[in-house]
């Protein structure tokens, strides 16, 4: 029996709408990995497409949370960060990396803050600068094209892309962070979508592209990054983990599209894929 791995997931918890911790926790658990959660904020729903949501900021709890974990001597195979509630939280989470990571802890950061050329509600460009600073402490970053461009101080470019742009962007990003990168939302044509991965050790950009299904769905970035994190911590290479995350996310969208209850489009049906993910990662 191998020692069970442990990941600390630092994200908000949005009560309804399937994103951040309500995705990271089940996905990582399905992979057989312990998921310790550090909630950055508690919301009634996520902020994309809902109005009137509650937002309980937990900034003041984060350091005491981490101090308690540290004083108990817990070690983490990985720390996985996502949506953070404020620029102040970014600085605190950087401090938490120094407190609870050891030299073998992998830091994976999804700078969840923007999409389609726009920052999410509640964030501005200073937040993007702060997030770039946090990503410099990560071993793997998982942005979409908007987040990558904003962290580099570049203009957002809408799809379709050519290889020269994708490979230039991912390498500039990796040079900025000093780590590996996975870029989501790669589209070379109207009928395919996927991700590019760049491992500095290989020095090569690899692609995983699937067929593009109709519509756009909230929370797919969180589903993707959670599966990628679980797969990397399970021992998959970055390129294999990226391919698995692309396939898993595509299948979540297919399941959601096949569901006549449109209200379920606040987040995708990832639950139906957890059994398959568990078997795949147990191999």
Contacts with ligand PXL, residue ranges (CB under 6 A): 12, 14, 19-20, 43, 46-48, 83, 112, 120, 219, 221-222
Distance CA 214, CA 253 (A): 9
Q: Which is nearer to ligand PXL, 58 or 278 (CB)?
A: 58
User: CA-to-CA distance for 17 and 50, rounded, in angstroms?
Assistant: 9
**114-115 and 55-57 strand pairing:** unpaired
Q: What is the CA radius of gyration of the chain?
A: 17
* Shortest Å, Cβ 115 to ligand PXL: 8
CB of 112 to ligand PXL, least distance (A): 4
Q: How far is the CB of 123 from ligand PXL (least distance, A)?
A: 9
Tokens describing residue 65? 């949370």
Q: Which is nearer to ligand PXL, 97 or 224 (CB)?
A: 224
Is 8 or 223 the residue whose CB approaches ligand PXL more closely? Answer: 223
Minimum separation from the CB atom of position 16 to ligand PXL (A): 11
Helix then strand then coil, in percent of the chain rounded to 5, is 45, 25, 35
Q: Which is nearer to ligand PXL, 120 or 156 (CB)?
A: 120
Cβ at position 10, least distance to ligand PXL in Å: 12
CA pair distance 68, 11, nearest whole angstrom: 18
| 48 or 192: CB nearest ligand PXL | 48
- The least CB distance from residue 250 to ligand PXL, in Å, is 18
Strand residue runs (E) in 131-217:
140-141, 180-186, 192-199, 204-211
Nearer to ligand PXL, 82 or 179 (CB): 82
**Closer residue to ligand PXL (CB): 143 or 221:** 221
d(CA 254, CA 231): 21
For residue 160, whether the previous peptide bond is cis, meaning omega lies within 30 degrees of 0, is yes
**Closest distance to ligand PXL from the beta carbon of 257 (Å):** 19
Helix, coil or strand: residue 15: strand
The Cα 222–Cα 22 span in angstroms is 10
User: Which of residues 19 and 92 has its CB atom nearest to ligand PXL in the complex?
Assistant: 19
- Residue 195 CB, nearest approach to ligand PXL (Å): 16
Instruction: For residue 134, give Cα distances in angstroms to 48, 130, 212, 217, 272.
Output: 23, 6, 31, 26, 33
Instruction: Choose among 52, 63, 53: nearest CA to 15.
Output: 53
């Amino acid at each position: 029996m191998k020692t069970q791995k442990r990941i600390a997931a630092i994200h908000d918890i949005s009560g309804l709408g399937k994103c951040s911790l309500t995705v990271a926790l089940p996905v990582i658990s399905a992979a057989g990995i312990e998921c310790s959660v550090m909630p950055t904020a508690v919301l009634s729903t996520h902020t994309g497409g809902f109005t009137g949501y509650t937002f309980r900021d937990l900034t003041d709890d984060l350091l005491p949370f981490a101090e308690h974990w540290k004083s108990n001597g817990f070690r983490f195979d990985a720390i996985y960060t996502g949506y953070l509630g404020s620029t102040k939280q970014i600085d605190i989470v950087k401090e938490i990396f120094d407190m609870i990571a050891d030299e073998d802890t992998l830091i994976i950061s999804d700078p969840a803050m923007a999409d389609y050329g726009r920052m999410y509600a509640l964030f501005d460009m200073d937040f993007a600068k702060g997030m770039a600073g946090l990503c410099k402490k990560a071993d793997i970053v998982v942005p979409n094209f908007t987040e990558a461009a904003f962290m580099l101080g570049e203009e957002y470019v809408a799809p379709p892309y050519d290889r020269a742009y994708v490979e230039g962007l991912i390498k500039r990003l990796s040079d900025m962070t000093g780590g590996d990168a996975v870029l989501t939302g790669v589209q070379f044509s109207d009928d395919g979508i996927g991700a590019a991965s760049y491992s500095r050790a290989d020095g090569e950009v690899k692609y995983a592209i699937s067929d593009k299904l109709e519509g756009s769905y909230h929370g797919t970035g969180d589903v993707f990054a959670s599966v990628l994190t679980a797969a990397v911590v399970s021992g998959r290479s970055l390129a294999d983990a990226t391919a698995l995350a692309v396939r898993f996310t595509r299948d979540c969208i297919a399941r959601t599209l096949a569901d006549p209850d449109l209200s379920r489009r606040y987040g995708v049906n990832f639950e139906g894929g957890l059994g398959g993910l568990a078997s795949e990662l147990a191999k």
